[in-house]
């Protein structure tokens, strides 16, 4: 396979090894992920902003429900 001269000028080949130790990335096994594993792993919200927004909505909703129940109790007691 022939490459263009412009592409071969951009490729840099290191002339010497800069590390005296063995590269730990070469010893580590490469993880292989399939789509089913990725889909099953992601079950909840992903960002902190989403978690904060959902928790804020939960607190507001709970407060509204409790205040509605209190109003219904007070109205029924007054009658």
Name the phi and psi angles at 45, rounded to 5: -65, 150
- The pTM is what? 0.42
Residue 11 counted as domain residue: no
Distance between CA atoms of residues 24 and 72, nearest Å: 67
Query: Is 1 a member of any domain?
Result: no
The answer to whether residue 20 is domain-embedded is: no
Residues 19-77: pLDDT tens digits?
A: 666 766 677 777 777 777 766 666 667 788 888 999 999 999 999 999 999 999 999 88
Asked if residue 58 belongs to a domain, the reply is: yes
Sign of CA dihedral 16, 19, 21, 23: negative
Identify whether 57 is part of a domain: yes
Q: What is the pLDDT of residues 35-45, one digit of tens each?
A: 777 666 666 67
User: Number of folded domains in the chain?
Assistant: 1
Instruction: Say if 8 falls within a structural domain.
Output: no
DSSP state letter for 22:
P
> Which strand (E) or helix (H) includes residue 66?
helix 48-78
Structural domain boundaries enclosing 74: 47-79
In a domain, 56, yes or no: yes
């Amino acid at each position: 396979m022939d490459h263009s001269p412009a592409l071969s000028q951009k490729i840099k080949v290191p002339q010497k090894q800069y590390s005296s130790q063995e590269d730990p990335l070469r010893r580590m096994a490469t993880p292989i992920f399939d789509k089913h594993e990725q889909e099953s792993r992601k079950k909840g919200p992903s960002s902190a902003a989403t978690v904060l927004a959902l928790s804020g909505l939960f607190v507001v909703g709970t407060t509204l429900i409790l205040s509605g129940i209190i109003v219904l109790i007070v109205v029924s007691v007054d009658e």
